[in-house]
A and B are shown apart, each in its own frame.
Chain A
């Protein structure tokens, strides 16, 4: 991983058209501004990672889920 030191107000350029700017550092948090082309998706990493992990889990469990949604009446009769 490339590690760079930046002060508030300073930026990093990624490729030809993405600029990441450190806006403010306060109380252990960093505010970051991102200038990127509209077609570039920018996500908080943990949110994207949640969806990614959940997709893999959904695929791994597809057979089990299919059985459950198809046989619900037989598997869990009303009592």
Chain B
């Protein structure tokens, strides 16, 4: 990787100052598109090349999904309006049932301007960490 490429990577990197639940040491990530239709991305850690998870924008599957950020969370991320926020959720998989899930209880929210983000743990909702989906044909 040459210097210019490294600079591009750093510019695009997302910073999660608190790490993630279960992955407290993973603070820096890049988003890699996985499909031409933009339906799924890979959230790749820059702190450990072996750590990545697949994520997606949930509204394609759940148009009514409406996670609520607390005032504190909004302030922490420096979010002034919803337009500044990038939101995506983890994709998970059960190897026995072959079922793919979205984790709607733990969405990622990133400030598009500052690239600072965190994974929320929503409270007071019925959203599940294991909401089944059918994969759309690419």
Contact = CB atoms under 8 A, between A and B. Distances in A.
Interface of A: 38-39, 41, 43-44, 47-48, 50-59, 61-62, 64-66, 68-70, 72-73, 76, 78
Contacts, number: 98
Size band of the interface chain B makes with A: 20 to 34
Interface string B58-96: 000000000000001000100000000000001111010
B115 interface: no
Given A51-B103, A54-B105, 17 more contacts: A50-B129, A55-B22, A55-B23, A55-B53, A55-B106, A58-B53, A58-B54, A58-B91, A64-B95, A65-B93, A66-B42, A68-B135, A69-B35, A69-B91, A70-B35, A70-B40, A73-B137
A48 B105 CA distance: 9
Main secondary structure of the interface of B (DSSP, over half): loop
